[in-house]
Structure 1
Amino acid sequence: MGSRGLQVDENDRFERGEWVFERVAWAVMAVILVAALAGLFGGLGVFASRQASAAAGALTVEYPGLTRYTAKTDLQIITGTAAVSEGQVALTLSSDWVDGADISQVIPEPDTWESTPDGLRLTFPAGAAPPEVRISYRPDAIGPHPGTVTVGEAGPAVDFQQFVYP
């Protein structure tokens, strides 16, 4: 019984293509991992949380720089003593931001909600300390989502910019 060994046809062109595909796949996985660690997909990271402040510390807005379409998101507004007027703090959320957000909850509950030509005005009682306001919402528009928070009629204002992923 003679044995001629195992005969296997090799296709060098296919093997080179498979090798290139494998290397590209590894590079894509590495890019996705780095993006996730940077916070591009939410959670913690460089791009996950941003902060913008008005002069004199009257107003600070903490917000996610990147968020996902219809994902529950929080906007934190921290007011200083300069924001208090007659025992109240009035905050106006710009209409361009409100139009792209489905607000589900505001903590603490505002005394008044008022729709104005500039946007949504929320009035809060200011006790011993100015309130910290958390607005829970779901973005309902994809793409850039700019906003402005203003104290009072024409007080300090903070502009912020978010991007909503599909």
Structure 2
Amino acid sequence: MRKHNGELEIDEDLKMERRTWTVQRVSWVILILIVIAALLGFTGRGGVKGINKLTKSTASQAMEVEYDRFLRDEVEGEMKITLHNLKSANPTLFFSKEFYDKVRVEEIVPEPEHTEISPDGITYTFRATKPEFIILFYTKPLHIGPLQITAKGPDNEAVTMSQFVYP
């Protein structure tokens, strides 16, 4: 029901005003949540380490993988692999088929000595100079959606990484 407010001939609709205020408050809360998510790293690289960066190790702690849980489509990400207590000067790393199907490797530091692609996945062989060896993979995801990659270190122990690629 419309009423006139006092002396001015202005229509007043309190139900509509209350609905508008409610929508406005909910919109402010959603906007604040988006800003908080961006600051925490849910919308791209950066943010709080514990939220976007994950570290997984093999059962024997011989291999440790640090990777981004959330990625952006066609935006470069970094994966850091640390191999501990190496028994060989030529350690190998195996990645499941999904790695080379859904991810483009931009750069590997240090470069592998040998690369072998098989129907099951891709194997990189490196030349290690110390018992602790760090390998950096700079990659770009090729598809939007969930990404499940398995990596096997020199001792053939596996680490499975779950990532999600945003548009």
The answer on whether the counterparts of 1:92 and 1:118 sit within 8 Å (CA) in structure 2 is no
Letter in 1 for 2:165: V
Q: Structure 1: 5+ residue runs without aligned partners?
A: none
Contact 1:90 1:121 in 2 (8 A): yes
Query: Do the aligned residues in 2 keep the contact of 1:74 with 1:136 (CA within 8 Å)?
Result: yes
2:117 maps to which of 115, 118, 122 = 115
Aligned residues: 160
- Deviation of the 1:49 alpha carbon: 0.3
Instruction: Report deviation, 1:68.
Output: 1.1
Residue 66 (str. 1) matches residue 70 (str. 2): yes
Q: Distance in 1 between matches of 2:132 and 2:114?
A: 16
- After superposition, residues 10-49 of structure 1 pair within 5 angstroms as 10-42=12-44, 43-45=46-48, 46-49=50-53
Deviation at 1:56, TM superposition (A): 2.2
- In structure 1, distance between residues paired with 2:106 and 2:39: 29
Question: Which of 95, 98, 104 does residue 97 from structure 2 map onto?
Answer: 95
How many Å apart are 1:6 and its aligned residue?
A: 4.1
Q: Distance in 2 between matches of 1:52 and 1:38?
A: 20
Tell me, in whole angstroms, the C-alpha distance in 1 between the residues paired with 2:153 and 2:31.
Answer: 45
Q: How does 1:72-151 map to 2 (within 5 A)?
A: 72-82=76-86, 84-85=87-88, 87-151=89-153
User: Residue 134 of structure 2 aligns to which amino acid in structure 1?
Assistant: E
Residue-by-residue CA offset, 1:50-92 (whole Å, 9 max, x unaligned)? 010012221000001111111110111111124x42x111111
Partners of 2:104 and 2:130 in 1: CA distance: 31
User: TM-score, length-normalised on structure 2?
Assistant: 0.86
1:162 aligns with 2:163: yes
RMSD over aligned CA atoms reads 1.9
Structure 1-normalised TM-score? 0.87
Q: CA deviation at 1:31?
A: 1.9
Gaps of 5+ in 2: 1-6
SS at match of 2:104: strand
Partner Cα distance (2:130, 2:20) in 1: 68
